[in-house]
Chain A
Amino acid sequence: MLISVEAGAPNNGKGEDTTARVKYATVRGRRHPYVSAQAVRRWIRDGMAGRGAPASPVTRVGKAQNRAQKANTDADPITYADDDLFGYMRAGAKKDDAATTLRDSPFMLGTLMSVAPVHPTEDFGVMSRGVGEPVLHGHEFYTADLAAPFLFDLPRVGTFTLPNADGVGRPNYLTQEQALQVAQAAALGAGTEVFRGQGAVRLPVKERRHRAALLLEAVAHLHGGAKQALHYGDRVPSLIVMVPFKGGVNPLAHVITGDEGGLLVRGDVLRKELAAWNGEWIPPVRVGWRPGFRDDLRADFEKECAQEIADGTIVVDHPRTVLLGLASEMRGGALDAWFDDAAQ
């Protein structure tokens, strides 16, 4: 996915004195600003909560449970979609020798790194309203196209592996106490099965496709980040390329890249990758491209892939249309096959 930042500073690093610095990485001596994966995951998570997925609420225990009164949320992926999709690590207390439970995120998102080197602008600010001595402060902002790969492991949504005899450190597992919640999950209609060689509890596919669709809808409404008042900007991806794959590879590494001249969208790379991975993916490739965003590149891309667009192997539309369309297809149950590993 690609997010286009126009004179913004959506993610800032450690400030120096009175100047707020944007986050950047140094590649071959040049600065590439970035937005950390953690930040974007937070935006998506908040978007999901705003769209009606209950975020992990707080439950209170007290005298009635014969325990000291305290409020507590469980890292509970069975009940809460955000714990399920974004994972967590819940460290057990050393003194109790409690088990650490973790869930590895089925939604993996890379760092949104600028495709081309950018020199951030340092803005000099003065606060002088009604004070004798003005207060000086500065901040950096930049204009850049930030791109990141992402991978959404649909079979793992709503699938929770159980501990076996040596089931420590598996990608996610349930402790004894959480295994008790499996009873609750079973009440939701979850069944136990073997998932990728491990015993697992699975929520019914209706709930699983609902959660996956929620995430796509949150990306379609993406907003968030720092400096909103000063650098208001839209954060919905300007360009997004999605292709359903049967295995855990991501072939789109070099489809959205950049060079000294800025952004490159490589239709030829996409065609070659799709040919190389023939049989491992399910058409169509969904491309969301916002109208007006780099129309020159879009014309080149559509010319390069004219054949595929004509026969429907590649679909190009507005990112929101593409994401929301995919989400509603999921909710309708047409894509339920995606929620299980493909037969070898």
Chain B
Amino acid sequence: MSYAEPLPAWRLTFYAPVASFRDPFFPGLARGLPVPPPSTVRGLLAAATGAPYESLAFGMAAWSEGEGVDAETYHPIDAGGANPAVSGRVRPGKGGMTLRTRPFLTGVHLTVWLPEEAGDRVARAFRRPQWGLRLGRSQDLVHLEERLEVVLRPVTEAVVGSALAPATGHDVPYAVTHRMAASVSADRMTTRWTDYLWCDRPAGRHPVRGALEDGSYQGKGQALWLLEP
């Protein structure tokens, strides 16, 4: 896709005091991702509209202020009833109550750009979201801080910052590739995995490919890439 002319969009800014995103490529142990996966953000958009699924392309940038590791007690409920839960508690033992560590992020800042008519529809839904807004699990409540209309322009050089970019988006030397879920089907059976570039320290101005710029962002502009489901 290429846009020769400016693209109208909504910019939404979110803040979550605490959130955690488990990396599903590490089964059996909890490794945390440093940014919310695009599929998680899609879920947030769908929570606002009430639709089972949102397939629009959007741009996003995210960073967090701090981190920690929590110790969590799991109480798995066995469907066969071998180890019953009594008032929400399960006996320890094989397949029973167990303690696991879970890394989490604090002060998570997420910015989402929603372009064109589809974006307009979704952004307006945030005035009265259908479901409670959260970024991840039910304890990761997220707050909508800002919602405004901006104009995006195609650029060849821009501030990369903490934007999530496709693998070919830019050549920032210290950017790390994270393989994350782009989208999960409505029946939860199939996940589409994609490689994304992300900088753990906000990057400055760099040449970019296939990017748009939000010139009004924090006075110095911000590159963003429209991420497909």
Contacts and interface: CB of A to CB of B under 8 A. Distances in A.
A168 B47 contact: no
Nearest to B73: A38
Interface in B113-170: 126-134, 138-141, 143-145
B68 interface: yes
User: Most chain-A Cβ atoms within 10 A of its Cβ — which of B50, B67, B70, B186?
Assistant: B70
Given A110-B141, A249-B133, A26 B68 contact: yes
27 contacts: A14-B71, A14-B101, A23-B71, A38-B72, A38-B73, A41-B139, A56-B85, A56-B86, A70-B81, A86-B88, A87-B138, A88-B88, A90-B77, A93-B80, A100-B79, A105-B138, A111-B70, A113-B106, A148-B17, A150-B141, A196-B50, A246-B128, A248-B129, A248-B133, A249-B128, A250-B141, A251-B143
Contacts of B134: 108, 151
Interface residues of A, number: 73
Interface residues of B, number: 53
B68 A153 contact: no
Nearest to A42: B88
Given A108-B138, A111-B70, 7 more contacts: A14-B101, A100-B79, A113-B18, A151-B134, A251-B144, A342-B128, A344-B128
B67 A25 contact: yes
B141 to A, nearest CB: 5
Contact of B186 (A70, A86, A111, A166): A166
Contacts of B85: 56, 73, 75, 88
Interface string A24-37: 11111000101011
Contact of A82 (B17, B47, B88, B107): B88
Given A90-B79, A108-B138, A248-B47, A72 B84 contact: yes
Interface of A: 13-14, 23-28, 32, 34, 36-38, 41-42, 45-46, 49, 55-58, 61, 70-73, 75, 82-83, 86-93, 96, 98, 100, 104-105, 108-111, 113, 148-151, 153, 166, 168-171, 196-197, 246-254, 280, 341-342, 344
B91 to A, nearest CB: 11
Contact of A75 (B77, B139, B187): B77
Given A49-B87, A89-B77, A342-B128, A27 B107 contact: yes
B71 A25 contact: no
B207 interface: no
Contact of A28 (B65, B78, B132, B189): B65
Contacts of B132: 108, 151, 153, 248, 250
B20 to A, nearest CB: 10
Contacts of B15: 253
Contacts, number: 173
B35 interface: no
Contacts of A32: 66, 106
Nearest to A168: B187
Contacts of B187: 166, 168-169
User: Most chain-B Cβ atoms within 10 A of its Cβ — which of A13, A55, A57, A253?
Assistant: A253
A36 B76 CA distance: 19
Contacts of B88: 42, 45, 55-56, 82-83, 86, 88
B60 to A, nearest CB: 19
Contacts of B87: 45-46, 49, 55-56, 82
- 4 nearest interchain CB pairs? A27-B66, A25-B68, A55-B87, A169-B188
Contacts of B101: 14
B185 to A, nearest CB: 9
B68 A248 contact: no
A332 B132 CA distance: 26
B68 A108 contact: no
Contacts of B67: 25-26
B28 to A, nearest CB: 14
A197 B71 CA distance: 37
B203 to A, nearest CB: 20
A66 B81 CA distance: 15
Contacts of A83: 88
B208 interface: no
Given A36-B70, A73-B84, A113 B139 contact: no
B128 A108 contact: no
B72 A110 contact: no
A149 B15 CA distance: 12
B82 interface: yes
A253 B186 contact: no
Contact of B50 (A13, A197, A254): A197
A197 to B, nearest CB: 6
B104 interface: yes
A248 B139 contact: no
A13 B18 contact: no
A110 B139 contact: yes
B68 A104 contact: no
A218 B52 CA distance: 33
A197 B127 CA distance: 19
B48 interface: yes
